[in-house]
Amino acid sequence: MTLSQAIEAYIVHKRSLGMCFRSDAVRLRAFVNSVGDGDMRRVRPQAVRRYLDGKGPVTSFWFSKYHSLTAFYRYAVARHYVRNSPLPRSRPQLPEKFQAYIYTNDDMRKLIDAADSRHRYVWLLTPDTVRTLLLLLYGTGLRISEALRLNIGDFDRDSGVFTIRETKFFKSRFVPIGPDLRRLLEAYIDRQWPPAHRAETTPLLGTVSYERILRQTAELVFKRLREEAGIHRSSEARYQPRLHDFRHTFAVVRLVTWYRAGKNVQRLLPHLTTYLGHGRIQDTAHYLTMTTELLQEASLCFERYARPEVPHA
Residues known to be catalytic: 143, 168
Strand ranges (E), the chain: 155-156, 161-164, 173-176
SS3 216: helix
Rounded Cα–Cα distance for residues 225 and 115 (Å): 7
The torsion angle over the Cα atoms of residues 67, 73, 79 and 80, rounded to 10 degrees, is: -160
CB distance 66 to 91 below 8 Å: yes
| Sign of the C-alpha dihedral computed for residues 242, 244, 245 and 250 taken in this order | positive
Rounded Cα–Cα distance for residues 218 and 205 (Å): 11
Rounded Cα–Cα distance for residues 258 and 263 (Å): 5
Name which of 185, 201, 202 is nearest 193 in CA terms: 202
Rounded Cα–Cα distance for residues 137 and 147 (Å): 7
Q: What are the helix (H) ranges across 81-126?
A: 105-116
Rounded Cα–Cα distance for residues 201 and 128 (Å): 21
Which amino acid would we find at residue 224?
R
Rounded Cα–Cα distance for residues 242 and 297 (Å): 26
Rounded Cα–Cα distance for residues 187 and 167 (Å): 26
